[in-house]
Amino acid sequence: MSQIEMSLRGEFTEEMNSVAVAEQLDINLIMRRVASGKIVIPSNVNRKARAVGIGKGLKTKVNASIGTSTDIIDIEMEIEKARMAEKYGADTLMDLSVGGDVTQIRRAVMDAITLPLGTVPLYEAFAVAAEKYGSITKMPEGLLWDTIERQCEEGVAFMAVHCGINRLTLEVLKKQHYRYGGLVSKGGACMVAWMQYNNAENPLYANFDKVAGILRRYGVVLSLGNGFRAGAIHDATDRVQIQELIVNCEFAEAGRAMGCQTMVEGPGHIPINEIEANIILAKKMSGEAPFYMLGPITTDIAPGYDHITSAIGAALAASHGVDFLCYVTPAEHLGLPFTEDVREGVVAAKIAAHIGDMVKLSDTNRDKAISKARRDMDWMNQFKLAIDPERAIEIRNKRNSSSDERTCTMCGKFCANDMLQGIFEAHSKGTDKQ
């Protein structure tokens, strides 16, 4: 049975209990929100993975994406990237491989980590079609269903499935005279090409019940893919994106009714003043299904620094109620990310998620604690409370030429806190108890 079906029977699952403990919330609250579709727990009956709750009232979670391309195929590097993502705090991992033996890569990655693994099954189906039949447009529909079923059997915990692309969304795209940034979703672009070549409806849209039925049997979360997400700031919140969002929100509700856990994906490239509106729309139309935001990237002019442009948007998104963030690495728009890019992307997204949770959940205890450690020049506690202790220690060690170990080389003998040590200790006791 799926998490939804168990919760509707009033039965706790091991995963629900783990989420309640991790979030320090009552398990009955978790169960009720799973039952209503406001919380999802990516899982699979065939693979034991870390239990991660995504949704209303929970900490904002971070996904890291890895995977081969047709130009760079290195299984060992993908395993290393997966381990790096887990080490630096990613909550989930997506394997988006399209080059090489993608089944072998996916299985090797799952063996290397304890995180729930997500995929985009369209990627594998179209990659196989290109190799076997010479073109993605010649993909037999049966190959798509076989791919979804097989990935579920292997233990995939959540899938981004492009159900919201249909003939109507294509007409909307044509009527609005395409886009500045074009289509940037690989899955979306492949499906559009397939539909146009075959003059056919998207089978994932036409047979949504089949999609939800397969995923429900394995307990897999259906992430309703954002194939028409904006790839340029100017295209954000345009008609085709919203048309797809409407379809996905309808499917989120339909999937829940079938016992399949669902979440909705969002943009993409978006200016900061449109982030809140997108979240309100998605939450309201989907019945508060968990919202998964890709990035979001908030300006188009910073290649090499898009982990920063997305962290700015992600912090705002989390503060406005986004539940799940997909990281962006410095390599975005430039090339396949390497292992160090994964670290940079995960850390930037974790910082953004925390900044958002400081508002969304009033979660400031860690900030208070590290502030006191700085005031008291307690370096060990500062490092312990840091998002990336290794980086903090590395920077301090490279610059610590001060004769006084308590201070740092920024101020040396003119350290403000050092000068005032002992003067206000009596007044700080109340603060220390807060």
Query: Got the DSSP string for 186-235?
Result: HHHHHHHHHHHHHT---HHHHTHHHHHHHHHHHT-EEEE--TT--SSGGG
Give the per-residue pLDDT at 432.
Answer: 60
Give the per-residue pLDDT at 401.
Answer: 62
Give the per-residue pLDDT at 434.
Answer: 56
pLDDT along the chain (434 residues), means of 10: 93 96 98 98 97 98 98 98 98 97 97 98 96 96 98 98 96 89 92 96 98 98 96 96 97 98 96 98 98 97 98 98 98 97 98 98 96 92 96 90 72 79 66 58
Between CA 269 and CA 275 the distance in angstroms is 10
SS3 content of the chain, % helix, strand, coil (to 5): 55, 10, 35
Give the per-residue pLDDT at 416.
Answer: 82
- Per-residue model confidence as pLDDT tens digits over 222-259: 999 999 999 999 999 999 999 999 999 999 999 999 99
Residue-range domain boundaries for the chain: 43-49+59-360, 365-433
Regarding the domain delimited by 43-49+59-360, which CATH topology (the fold level of the hierarchy) does it fall under? TIM Barrel (3.20.20)
Residues with Cβ within 8 Å of 401's Cβ and at least 6 positions away in sequence, in order, are 409
Give the predicted TM-score (pTM) of the model.
Answer: 0.95
Q: What are phi and psi of 262, to 5 degrees?
A: -135, 150
Strands 54-55 and 39-40: antiparallel
